[in-house]
């Protein structure tokens, strides 16, 4: 499955913010961009969408940056995917110009509709906190933490 870089980077940014702001601090877009290897200019565009979607809040000033707008337990992957690219979880619909054949309809019902349903249910039940927990289990000690005193 292919997802856009907007979705991929948005998920990376939210995960990075959640991990690096656990102690109540903020995370700058420059830090996220550096850690994740993302263009800061492109990341800022994505962060605007994440702010408008109610996932992050921005803080200005010398200690400014981003924090999650609500706890990671209350942010579900389906919400993030829909905010960043509303076509990922969309139902498979034939174009009005196409005359769907019986085989096409059968394939849509038997395969694509089921896959979309599984993905929708999976993402509706998996929170950002669940994703972070999975990442920590997968990466073990490779996940870097920064603590400022």
Query: Tens of pLDDT along 84-118?
Result: 987 777 665 555 556 668 888 888 778 878 888 88
The residue among 30, 85, 24 whose CA lies nearest residue 57 is 24
> pLDDT tens digits, residue range 59-83?
887 778 999 999 999 999 999 998 9
Mean pLDDT in residue range 114-132: 91
Does the pLDDT value for residue 17 go beyond 60? yes
d(CA 119, CA 87): 13
Based on its alpha-carbon atoms, the radius of gyration of the chain, rounded to whole angstroms, reads 18
The reported pLDDT for the residue numbered 148 is 46
Does the pLDDT value for residue 8 go beyond 90? yes
* 8 A C-beta contact, residue 9 and residue 42: yes
The full set of domains in the chain, from first to last, is 5-142 (1.10.10.10)
Phi, psi of 86 (to 5 degrees): -70, 0
Q: Higher-confidence residue: 50 or 22?
A: 50
Q: Higher-confidence residue: 145 or 41?
A: 41
The reported pLDDT for the residue numbered 106 is 85
Residues of the chain above pLDDT 90, percent: 52
- In order of 9, 10, 61, 134, the CA distances from 42 in angstroms are 9, 10, 21, 27
């Amino acid at each position: 499955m292919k997802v856009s870089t907007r979705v991929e980077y948005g998920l990376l940014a939210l995960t990075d913010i959640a991990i690096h702001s656990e102690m109540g601090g903020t995370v700058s877009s420059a830090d996220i961009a550096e850690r994740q290897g993302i263009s800061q200019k492109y990341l800022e565009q994505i962060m605007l969408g994440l702010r408008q979607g109610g996932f992050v809040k921005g803080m200005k000033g010398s200690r400014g940056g981003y924090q999650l707008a609500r706890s990671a337990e209350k942010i579900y992957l389906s919400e993030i995917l829909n905010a960043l690219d509303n076509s990922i979880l969309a139902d498979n619909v034939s174009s009005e110009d196409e005359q769907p054949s019986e085989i096409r309809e059968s394939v849509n019902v038997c395969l694509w509709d089921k896959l979309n349903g599984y993905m929708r249910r999976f993402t509706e039940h998996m929170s950002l906190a669940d994703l972070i927990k999975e990442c920590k289990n997968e990466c073990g000690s490779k996940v870097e933490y920064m603590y400022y005193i």
